[in-house]
Each structure stands twice: as C-alpha cells, then as structure tokens.
C-alpha cells in the first residue's frame, strides 16, 4: 500500500492510496471506524482506493481507525479538533452606575469554555459552557472618584474592563 498517511488532520477529507496486487488476485478493503470509510471495498488487481474521513469534532482526543486490506492492518490516526475562540467586544468601558453587560463568545459547538473575573466587583453570571454563547456579566456600581479597572478571562481570552469614576 502506498500513499496512505498514518496521521490526518481533524478536518473532513479524502485520501487516495494505491494497492499493488497481481492482476488475477481479488482483494477486499474495510475500515473498523464509522467515521472512516474506504472505497471501493473490493476488486481485482492493482487499484487506487479512497479513504474518506469525517471531521473530528472532539476537542479532547484524537481517534484511530484500522483499515484492513486483504487481512493486512493499517492504522490511521485523526488528530483531535483544535478549538478556537473569539470574543466581542474585547474591552468594556462602563459608567459608575454598573449594570449588566453581555459579551459574545464564538466557537465550535463541542468546544468547552470558562469565564472568570479578576475583581470582586465584576460578577460573571454565565461562568462556563460549551459552544458559542452570550456571556452575561454584572458590574457593581461604585461611588469612588477614581476609575477602576479589571478584566475578564473568557476561554483564555482577555476582556479589559474600565468602570468610570462617579
């Protein structure tokens, strides 16, 4: 077998590979994983086959399929899904009166996240979840004559918070 990778990215894709066998010999090919399919499944003589893999949406683990061609096993590992995150806005500029603000988090459905605040006057009302979300944050009012600053950490991303003096 030539051209079959042993490791593939998390994305859905197709991979062509060749088998060399005498023209009078039959062969069969199969996969032991539901997320990986090999086609055609049988034939005679030399052939080019295609491995089709579905996207791995599991951010916690890679996965392995074993392709078997005429009884010979070939392992293919699909990398884990890498979560990416974006927040909007990336900074908050609020008045002394405080109140509720919302921050949009965008990510894939299977990606977990957590949100924390650096200061006690910033309360995260939506502290964790999976997938995209609107994160609700409550800012306490303050009567100081000095601006106060803090930040939120959402899925590892920083959102700066400025609360203006009274």
Torsion of CA 144, 163, 121, 135, to 10 degrees: 160
Structure letter (DSSP) for residue 93: E
3-class SS shares of the chain: helix, strand, coil, % to 5: 0, 55, 45
Domains observed in the chain: 7-78 (2.60.40.10), 86-163 (2.60.40.10)
Q: What is the pLDDT of residues 14-42, one digit of tens each?
A: 999 999 999 999 999 999 999 999 999 99
Q: What is the pLDDT of residue 109?
A: 87
Q: What is the pLDDT of residue 77?
A: 97
Taking the model in full, what pTM does it have? 0.71
Length of the chain: 166
Give residue 143's pLDDT band: very low, low, confident or very high (50, 70, 90).
confident
N-term to C-term CA, the chain: 73
Q: What is the pLDDT of residues 80-124, one digit of tens each?
A: 989 999 999 999 999 999 999 999 999 988 899 999 999 999 999
Distances (CA, A) of 164 to 52, 116, 158: 56, 21, 19
Q: 107 burial class (0-12, 13-18, 19+ CB within 10 angstroms)?
A: buried
């Amino acid at each position: 077998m030539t051209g079959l990778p042993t490791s593939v990215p998390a994305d859905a894709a197709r991979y062509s590979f060749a088998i060399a066998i005498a023209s009078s010999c039959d062969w069969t090919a199969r996969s032991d994983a539901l997320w990986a399919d090999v086609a055609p499944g049988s034939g005679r003589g030399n052939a080019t086959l295609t491995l089709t893999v579905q996207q791995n949406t599991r951010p916690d683990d890679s996965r392995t399929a074993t392709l078997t061609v005429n009884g010979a096993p070939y392992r293919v590992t699909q990398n884990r899904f890498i979560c990416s995150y974006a927040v909007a806005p990336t900074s908050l500029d609020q008045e002394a009166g405080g109140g509720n603000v919302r921050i949009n988090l965008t990510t894939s459905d299977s990606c977990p996240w957590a949100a924390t605040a650096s200061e006690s006057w910033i309360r995260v009302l939506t502290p964790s979840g999976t997938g995209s979300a609107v994160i609700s944050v409550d800012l306490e009012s303050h009567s100081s004559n000095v601006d106060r600053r803090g930040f939120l950490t959402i899925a590892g991303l920083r959102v700066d918070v400025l609360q203006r003096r009274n």
